[in-house]
Amino acid sequence: MRLLIIEDEKRLAENIAQALREAGFAVDYAADGITGSHMAVQDIFDAIILDLMLPGKSGKRVLTELRQTKSRTPVLVLTALEGKETIVDLLNSGADDYLAKPFDLGELLARVKALIRRAKGVSSTIIQVADMEIDTVRQTVKRRGQEIDLSPMEYRILQYLSYRPRAIVSKQELLEHLYDFEWEHHSNVIEAHISNLRRKLNLQGTEPLIETLRHRGYRLSEEASS
């Protein structure tokens, strides 16, 4: 999953970005409202963390303009402003959640993960696809009860595909959502990760879960032999 942080406090933004990257997210960063607004409308982020007090363009305006584009990207607002009216105004403007500064990074991570799950139509932290189970909190994968050891990128690819079972996901979509702005530098490694992932998931006596469609992309099957 790829996140955008729009925050002008450099040290805070770096701390948030580090925590998110350690949790397996790709992260991009904008230090002002104008740059952040331009990046936010590109529809390549799975969630946006938005500060309210920004130079150039306020967070409230960034949020309002984003929603005017019909973007459904979940937005978590960081605010130092207090008061019930402020919170109501933010939610009515299209924010999906908020955190008052100062906040706990663990709580921020939990809220971001919950926002992404809801945006993908998943309510539980456990994703079940055919005979495979993905624990998004522990970041573990089991098939028929057998735990499968995946690399961090293999896990991220599988989690992304699991949010879109039976949909064809192109290589470019995977690159855009799993890497930051330098995603083009990684364009030659997706096939290798997919190959390793498919091999690890194919236990003896099971059907392949990941299908490759030539020149179109990859598809995670919801059907498997019992």
pLDDT digits (tens, 9 = 90+) for 81-132: 766 777 888 899 999 999 998 999 999 999 999 999 999 988 889 999 989 9
Per-residue pLDDT at 216: 92
133 and 95 in a single domain? The answer is: no
Q: Are 165 and 132 in contact (CB under 8 A)?
A: no
Please choose, from the candidates 198, 157, 197, the residue with its C-alpha nearest in 3D space to the C-alpha of residue 176.
Answer: 157
What do you get for the CA distance between the two ends of the chain, in Å? 30
Predicted confidence at residue 226, as pLDDT, reads 42
- Picking from 153, 120, 155, the residue whose alpha carbon sits closest to that of residue 137 is 155
pLDDT of residue 49 exceeding 90: yes
Structure token pair of residue 179 = 């890497």
For residue 225, what pLDDT is reported?
47
Closest CA to 158 of 138, 137, 175, 141: 141
Burial of 124 (0-12, 13-18, 19+ CB in 10 A): exposed
The last residue of a domain, from among 67, 99, 120: 120
Please, what is the average pLDDT of the chain? 91
User: What's the whole-number mean pLDDT along residues 151-178?
Assistant: 92
The whole domain housing 153 covers: 126-220
Q: Which residues is 140 bridged to in the sheet? A: 135
Mean pLDDT, range 11-26, rounded to an integer: 94
Residue 226 lies in a domain: no
- Structural domains of the chain, count: 2
Boundary of a domain, candidates 54, 86, 120 = 120
* Mean pLDDT (whole number) for 63-80: 94
Quick one: 46 and 131 in the same domain? Answer: no
Q: In this predicted model, which residue has the larger pLDDT, 223 or 216?
A: 216
Predicted pLDDT at 224: 55
Residue 87 is predicted with a pLDDT of: 83
Q: Judge whether residue 62 has pLDDT over 60.
A: yes
